[in-house]
Structure 1
Amino acid sequence: MTDFSKILEKAKELEAKMKESQEKIKSIRVEGVSGSNSVKVTLDGEGEMQKIELSDEILKEDKSILEDLIVAAHNNAKSQLKSKTTEEISKATGGLGIPGFKWPL
């Protein structure tokens, strides 16, 4: 029975660490860029776009180019966010992979 109580204790510890990690993830901000920094997109830890910045020069470009640069900046930010959230989860789990767990980004 001792082993089972140790497992429960570890599970509670992991749960507390994951809650703390989730709070830290919410506070993350990442900035994705494209077009030589002419388009910048800021995402929060939940993947919500918080800000978009467009340089005056890029506004002179064709609409389709601007659209592509916005998508590229968003994808760049999303990639950074995925790395940071994965890193934060690894800290919480002590590097233990949780089988079947994939962060929803």
Structure 2
Amino acid sequence: MFKGLGGIGDMSKMMKAAKDMQDRMQQMQADMDKITVTGESGAGLVKATATAKGELTSLDIDPSIFQPSEKEVVEDLILAAIKDAQRKAQDKMQSEMSRITQELGLPADMKLPF
């Protein structure tokens, strides 16, 4: 009856898919604040814990490394643990983004808005 209006249903599907994606992205962002990763250096002598968004939440340093002559080594270990935690947080974020794009049937290499 309305031959020229066949695309309206497709537009409705696209709008629903966009809303679903937006809802999932918001939920994922909230979840990333709750997920933590731990980076280590010096065979576990220094551990840095961060949220999956990369916010550092704690630092654990084994007391055996506190010697004045080892100041630079300790600083390097702390920096390495923080960088490891941040890298793991970034990997986790990308993994979650990839999972969501697959669930929504989007191309794996599609860049989402973060």
The answer to whether the superposition gives a TM-score over 0.5 is yes
Correspondent of 1:10 among 12, 17, 21:
17
Segments of 5+ residues of structure 1 without an aligned counterpart are none
Cα RMSD of the aligned pairs, angstroms, is: 1.9
- Structure 1 contact 18–93 (Cα < 8 Å) conserved: no
Aligned length: 103
Q: Which amino acid aligns with 1:26?
A: D
CA contact (8 A) 2:52 2:90 kept: no
Q: Give how far 1:98 is off.
A: 6.4
| Larger gyration radius, structure 1 or structure 2 | 2
SS in 2 for 1:53: strand
Structure number with the bigger relative contact order (C-alpha 8 A, sep ≥ 6) is 1
Determine what percentage of the aligned residue pairs are the same residue: 30
Task: Indicate if the aligned counterparts of 2:37 and 2:49 stay in contact, CA closer than 8 A.
Answer: yes
* From 51, 56, 66, the counterpart of 1:44: 51
In the alignment, which residue of structure 1 is the partner of 2:4? Answer: none
TM-score (norm 2): 0.79
Q: Which runs of 5+ in 2 are unaligned?
A: 1-7
